[in-house]
DNA sequence: TTCGGTCTCATTGGATACATTCCGGAGAAT
DNA sequence: ATTCTCCGGAATGTATCCAATGAGACCGAA
């Protein structure tokens, strides 16, 4: 027993996790109001842990708090979403470069599985889950925790818009995404860091540019 | 009156600001324990706003909380500090590139003032303040709020170590920093984005590499 | 002497109760 | 009719009290 972590999921954390899940899976849409009292009754707790949970999510960028007024699920406008992608263009290549040398065979196999599953499936929700796991897995061995957390935060805040985008384009242009995923995976297998960095950069940038043309997704 | 911001500095925010200041100016050293009760009496508030303030700072990475145990001022090891610099190497060039085209004459003048003041002064605390203002000012017109906040967070968490480093090297090798600042400022004045990106990247990277040789600063 | 267990106390986590702030609507005056 | 004011209700912010967890000291036995 090496870890002395208190395993007690303290209420604030638990509630924050549940709320985050609800936002990511789309149950709570951007712009939706968050009532402290409502959450308190739903999760069988008092308002205090709820408040702390809301603060946690605010720090992660998933919730916006206005003093003396209330909290809402964060709503990005097109610009803010584009900004997130521009940041991703810069930092995800770094995570990839640090991670590639340490990725093991099992992880490479899992990447291949994910690519196949994405190509086979047509369900949007399923694609979102697989795509996320694929990319985050490529970064998983970076040994830069703070960086990986940062990346995950960026993915989280833009998740609703990735969903809207995926639904909007249908499975129409997905062949390009699949091709890029394959290129990326091949570069990783060859441990070709430079090529992998270029590929992920292009992948994110292309997506960003497509996004910039779909301002209709942001009301 | 355009802003409808509630001007009421609610207690949690106020306390968070004071605490952040205390950490940044060195009054609270990394590793130091944070007692809720003590802060409560010091800031004439109950423990509740203090708790929320601590959570806010935890989200910013300045404080570490262990459930049922307490809170401490975050302590980075050498690796974590190096990671922060590696992330900065990737994102600060972006902020600079976005900001340069929009920097105005007044801001360019202020940059020149800061460079001169840094060269003239010998006081470490003063240098830290000026250096920070200089760099953040070069990013100030990026119009990417989330990016600028991210950069500020990275500066904040590494501030104690920049202080220790500055003290350790004395004013000995500062001429190189000053030279880099001047190069950067010249590139900005010429609106030469590429050159500016290269310069800031090199500036951060060189500092990181120097830092990697001073593991003694981390106990 | 050293290791293990228990006991106590200090500190944090949570619940309830109260104060404060903000928003919207009704009503009156211009 | 429009605008200003005032009031009421609802939701948030804060304080106080209680429960629970963790750390350290003290004591006892090997």
CATH number at residue B102: 1.20.120.530
If asked whether residues A98 and A28 sit together in one domain, one would say: no
Token output for A19: 């709320």
What CATH number does residue B29 fall under?
A: 1.10.10.10
A107 and A60 share one domain: no
Neighbouring CB atoms inside 10 A of B75's CB total: 15
Q: Structural domain of residue B166, as residue ranges? A: 78-218
Look up tokens 């990839």; give the residue.
A96
Residue-level length of chain A: 219
Q: How far apart are CA A156 and CA A38, in angstroms?
A: 23
Of B56, B73, B90, the residue at which a domain comes to its end is B73
* Distance (Å, whole) CA A56 – CA A109: 35
Length of chain B: 219
Residues B132 and B196 grouped into a single domain: yes
- Closest by alpha carbon to A167, among A212, A119, A209, A126? A126
Within a domain: residue B92? yes
Interface test with A, best of B3, B55, B93 (most A CBs within 10 A): B55
- For B169, the token pair is 């090297």
Sheet holding A63-66, edge to edge: A33-34, A70-73, A63-66
Neighbours of A217 (CB within 10 A): 17
Summarised one tens digit per residue, pLDDT across range A105-156 is: 999 999 999 999 999 988 999 999 999 999 999 999 999 999 999 999 999 9
Q: What is the DSSP string of A21-84?
A: HHHHTTSS-TT-EE-HHHHHHHTTS-HHHHHHHHHHHHHTTSEEEETTTEEEE----HHHHHHH
Same domain, A151 and A85: yes
Question: Quick check: is B4 in a domain?
Answer: no
Q: How far is CA A177 from the centre of its chain?
A: 17
Is the same domain home to B49 and B112? no
- On whether both A96 and A48 belong to a single domain, the answer is no
A42 and A89 in a single domain? The answer is no
The set of residues with CB closer than 7 Å to nucleic strand C is A 10-12, 45-49, 52, 67-69; B 4, 6, 8, 34-37, 47-48, 51, 65, 67-71
Q: Is the pLDDT of residue B84 over 50?
A: yes
Point out the domain boundary residue: A73, A92, A111. A73
Q: Looking at chain B, which runs of residues are DSSP E strands?
A: 33-34, 63-66, 70-73
C15 C1' closest Cα residue: A46
Residue after which a domain boundary falls, among B73, B88, B106: B73
Q: Do B55 and B97 lie in a common domain?
A: no
Residues A168, A209, A165, CA angle at the centre, nearest 5°? Answer: 15
Query: Tens digit of pLDDT for each residue in B141-173?
Result: 999 999 999 999 999 999 999 999 999 988 776
Contact by Cβ (8 Å): A83, A154 = no
Confidence of residue A7 (pLDDT cuts 50, 70, 90): very low
Q: What pLDDT score does B181 carry?
A: 97
């Amino acid at each position: 027993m090496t870890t002395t972590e208190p395993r007690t999921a303290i209420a604030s954390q638990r509630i924050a996790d549940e709320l985050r899940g609800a936002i990511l899976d789309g149950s709570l849409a951007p712009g939706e109001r968050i009532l402290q009292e409502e959450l308190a009754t739903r999760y069988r707790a008092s308002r205090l842990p709820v408040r702390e949970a809301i603060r946690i999510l605010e720090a992660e960028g998933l919730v916006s708090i206005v003093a003396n007024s209330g909290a809402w699920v964060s709503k990005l406008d097109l610009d803010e979403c584009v900004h997130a992608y521009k940041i991703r263009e810069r930092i995800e290549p770094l995570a990839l470069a640090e991670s590639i040398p340490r990725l093991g065979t099992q992880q490479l196999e899992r990447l291949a599985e994910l690519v196949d599953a994405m190509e086979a499936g047509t369900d949007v929700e399923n694609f979102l889950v697989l795509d996320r796991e694929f990319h985050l897995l490529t970064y998983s061995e970076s040994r830069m925790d703070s960086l990986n957390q940062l990346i995950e935060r960026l993915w989280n805040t833009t998740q609703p818009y990735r969903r809207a985008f995926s639904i909007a384009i249908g499975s129409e242009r997905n062949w390009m995404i699949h091709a890029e995923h394959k290129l990326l995976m091949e570069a990783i297998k060859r441990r070709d860091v430079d090529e992998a960095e270029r590929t992920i950069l292009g992948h994110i940038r292309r997506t960003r540019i497509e996004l910039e043309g779909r301002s209709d997704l942001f009301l």
